Structure 1
Amino acid sequence: MKRSAKFLTSVMLTATLLVPAMGVGAANGETAQQQGNETFRVLVDSANQNELKNAKGKYGVHREFNSEGFTTTMNAKQFEALQKNKNLSVEKVPEFSIEETSSKPEAAYSAMAASQSVPWGIKAIYNDSALTKPTGGAGINIAVLDTGVNVNHTDLKNNVEQCKDFTTTTTVVNNSCVDRQGHGTHVAGSALADGGTGTGVYGVAPSADLWAYKVLGDDGSGYSDDIAAAIRHVADQATALNTKVVINMSLGSSGESSLITNAVNYAYSKGVLVIAAAGNSGPYQGSIGYPGALQNAVAVAALENVIQNGTYRVADYSSRGYSSTDGDYVINKGDVEISAPGSSVYSTWYTGGYSSISGTSMATPHVAGLAAKIWATNTSASNTQLRAELQKRAKAYDILSGSGAAVGDDYASGFGFARVR
């Protein structure tokens, strides 16, 4: 159900006040970085609860992960000193970033172009070149974990149910998810934009509800502990509110984060379907980023608006899996699962206007929207059954064009292009 003026409130994540980080410039003009005082996020854990308690008291807590330890911010000298403590394990928390081919849109527009009311990707996923108004998704929530969302955008404001910021120091900030980068607003539009007053742009599932979770900063990057906290929060909200949720993560990293892996597994076990970008490091094999590479996440490859060999073409930039697993129709770690429109995608922009962007980031919300649309027609289905339905639909439209694309399950396009019909 839509709530345009009232966001649902939830329990904030528990955390203690963070000790101020060192970083004051030296009197002689040296910067904090030159002094080795630049700060970064770390994960601290120990089997010795007294040692862990002491560490929390000394360094402060940013995020608490119980059995996985806690995260905090410190400088290089503190990190080196902590590594010498044999009773503690400490590691740097990896950063993740948006998955698009450029930090800037290919084109930005202050007003919606009438010809783009239903962008090519929406028409393609509906398999209807004459489509004028997409439908569906009512009662299903799409959690967009990204740079935030302009929740006042004409084409999105009617769908907003939650708006939260996970990038602050210690707690979740409710009713705050400002997007100053654009990526998150664009992603949300492709998933569920409702056309505003009838003169705006549409997404795949315009009746779905939006949970806008800011997990990345204005530069498009963020720490894995904040992302993991948001994923777990989604799962807990899904349980508490007894509702169906699809997570969209158009973000990634070449390295795996145990915090995010465990969070994805937790969400999946709670009935949440996780959709993630494959990454933009193609056409090389083994280039799927995380969390897309995880088995409990649906990795989405990007298609171009080009028909070749009778099908849409996988973009060269789209990350690939491994040819050794071609044809098995089994999702292994590092596999592409589904393909969707990702190149020159027209959608909502953080300025209140519109833009065109390319990347697997743009392909991912097409699948998230489709998942919401399908789930809305059968809310008794589990997330695993929904995933199987997406795979079934992908098999029905095999992708035969693009580097690595071949008949059946392949390392470039996965099972194929899942569509409405």
Structure 2
Amino acid sequence: MKKKKVLGAALLSMTMGLSMFTAGAFGQAPEAQDSYRVLIQGPKAEQAKAKDQFGTRWDFGANGFTTTVNAKQYQALLKNKTLYVETVSQVQLEAKPGADAQAVPSDRTPWGMEAIYNDSNLQATSGGGGVKVAVLDTGVNVAHADLTGSDEQCKDFTNRRSPLVNGSCSDKNGHGTHVAGTVLAHGGSGQGIYGVAPEADLWAYKVLNDQGSGYSDDIAGAIQHAADEAVRTGSNVVISMSLGSSSKSTLIADAVDYAYGKGVLVVAAAGNSGPNANTIGYPGALVNAVAVAALEDVQENGTYRVADFSSRGNPSTDGDFVIQERDVELSAPGRAIESTWFDGSYNTISGTSMATPHVSGWQRRFGQQIQA
């Protein structure tokens, strides 16, 4: 399914470029040799036997199921002529702190908020009521002073024993808490920082471990879960993913299509492999995901300049007014972004990971147009 580009005027009024940037890979971690997360496909009867023998982490129906096996079991599966077996790919973060964490923010409405709101005198942000933003990341410190009270769901998809643990979404990395703050930080008791949509509700889904890596089946499962929850609760849901890989995961691609079919907007980082063309990463590169490039606080040709690290899109389809795979749809502030941190403080990070939540939060004003 293709999406028309209908956002130009609206975004230009917010000084956000609609140029085609593309995205970089965040890296693929090597699989440990003592155990393997695998996707198993084949005839239903043979799959059933394998499920009984190895157990099931995620069941993707006709697309097979995933499980974890030891090295001996993996070698045996590779020799099984009735089953198709492949290792499950991983994704990893690539954002790095640009400064030491601070007890209080240097600016309660950082430059990204001023750019999004097109107001250099912005004192506070507002809005987002009725919107649920599912942040799929390293978890979120939902007890942070600027996030407390915003969390509606808190779930862990990384636990080795269970694919889904309710009431747990701890973040010891910082990335997820930073992303969540950019989406919906509410300023705390009067000295904290603001996000784009402080009245939105947070669905904190931990899909990456504390080192910033995670399995694609867990991410796919979380995407499908968010879409199902959107239908169950009758909610307007945005899925925000500041993660990626250079390679396309069929599991994640199918999950994004599933969410899109349920009316859920999926926003993802373009990647940090710029400035060359055709460097966009997945899942941002997917047709049914909105890929976000990063801007920096430097004016060039009357607008904010694209950060050099930000991945670019496919120049051969630039300007054709049809979103295709490996195109970048939007850009937003992504360099030197200050936000909430996992230990209750504040930190400054750069990356398309930081640009993505600006768009995820702002969808309350143009989300339906993106999906048109």
Amino acid at match of 2:70: N
Could you report, residue by residue, the CA deviation over 1:192-219 in whole angstroms, capped at 9, with x for unpaired residues?
Answer: 1000112100000010000000000011
CA contact (8 A) 2:280 2:312 kept: yes
Deviation at 1:62, TM superposition (A): 1.6
Same amino acid, percent of matched pairs: 60
Q: Deviations over 1:158-192 (max 9, x none)?
A: 21111000011323111100000000000000011
Which structure is larger by alpha-carbon Rg, 1 or 2? 1
Deviations for 1:379-419, whole angstroms, at most 9, x for unmatched residues? xxxx6x33158xxxxxxxxxxxxxxxxxxxxxxxxxxxxxx
| One-letter amino acid matched to 2:41 | D
Out of 344, 353, 369, the residue aligned to residue 386 of structure 1 is 369
Question: What is the one-letter code of the residue matched to 1:292?
Answer: G
Q: Please name the residue that 1:378 is paired with.
A: none
1:135 aligns with 2:131: no
2:282 aligned to which of 278, 281, 290? 290
- Number of the residue aligned with 2:77: 82
Per the normalisation by structure 2, the TM-score is 0.89
Corresponding residue for residue 35 of structure 2: 39
Local SS of the residue matching 1:251: coil
Q: Which residue of 2 aligns with 1:72?
A: 67
Match of 2:119, SS state, is coil
Distance in 2, matches of 1:319 and 1:96, equals 16
2 CA distance for matches of 1:126 and 1:320?
25
2:15 is matched with which residue? none
* 1:11-410 equivalences in 2 (<5 Å): 37-46=33-42, 48-100=43-95, 102=96, 105-113=97-105, 115-169=106-160, 170-372=162-364, 374=365, 385-387=368-370
Which residue matches 2:16?
none
Query: Structure 1 CA distance, aligned partners of 2:307 and 2:266?
Result: 23
8 Å contact from structure 1 (residues 304, 315) kept in 2: yes
Kindly indicate whether the alpha-carbon contact (under 8 Å) linking 1:99 and 1:250 is maintained by their aligned counterparts in 2. no
Q: Aligned to 1:142, what secondary structure does the other structure show?
A: strand
CA distance in 2 between partners of 1:248 and 1:85 (Å)? 38
Structure 1 unmatched runs, 5+: 1-32, 376-382, 390-421
Between the aligned partners of 1:292 and 1:176, the Cα distance in structure 2 is 27
Return the alpha-carbon distance in structure 2 between the equivalents of residues 78 and 279 of structure 1: 35
Letter of the structure 2 residue corresponding to residue 118 of structure 1: T
Structure 2 Cα separation of the partners of residues 235 and 86 of structure 1: 35
- Maintained 8 Å contact 2:265/2:371: no
Could you tell me how far 1:316 is from its partner in structure 2?
Answer: 1.0
Residue 110 of structure 1 contacts residue 352 of structure 1 at CA under 8 Å; is this kept in 2? no
Give a deviation string over 1:229-286, Cα, whole Å, max 9, x none.
0000000000000010000000001111111011000011101000000000111211
* Paired letter, 1:69: G
Structure number with the bigger relative contact order (C-alpha 8 A, sep ≥ 6) is 2
Which amino acid in structure 2 is aligned with residue 168 of structure 1?
N
Contact 2:36 2:74 in 1 (8 A): no
Structure 2 CA distance for aligned equivalents of residues 80 and 110 of structure 1: 50
Deviation of 1:112 after TM superposition, in Å, equals 1.6
Matching residue's letter, 1:386: Q
Q: Secondary structure at 1:211's aligned position in 2?
A: strand
Once the two structures are overlaid, the 10-residue window that deviates more, 129-138 or 37-46, is 37-46
Q: Is the 2:37–2:68 Cα contact (8 Å) retained in structure 1? A: yes
SS of 1:158's equivalent in the other structure is: coil
Distance 1:343 1:139 in 2: 29
For residue 78 of structure 1, report the CA deviation from its aligned partner: 2.6
**Structure 2: gaps spanning 5 or more residues:** 1-29
Which is worse superposed, 349-358 or 160-169? 160-169
| Distance in 1, Cα, partners of 2:285 & 2:147 | 30
- Check whether the contact 1:37–1:77 (CA below 8 A) recurs between aligned residues: no
User: Is the partner of 1:235 in helix, strand or coil?
Assistant: helix
Q: Does the aligned pair in 2 maintain the 1:61–1:72 contact within 8 Å? A: yes
Q: Secondary structure at the match of 1:231?
A: helix
How far is the alpha carbon of 1:37 from its aligned partner? 4.8
Query: What is the total number of aligned residue pairs between the two structures?
Result: 341
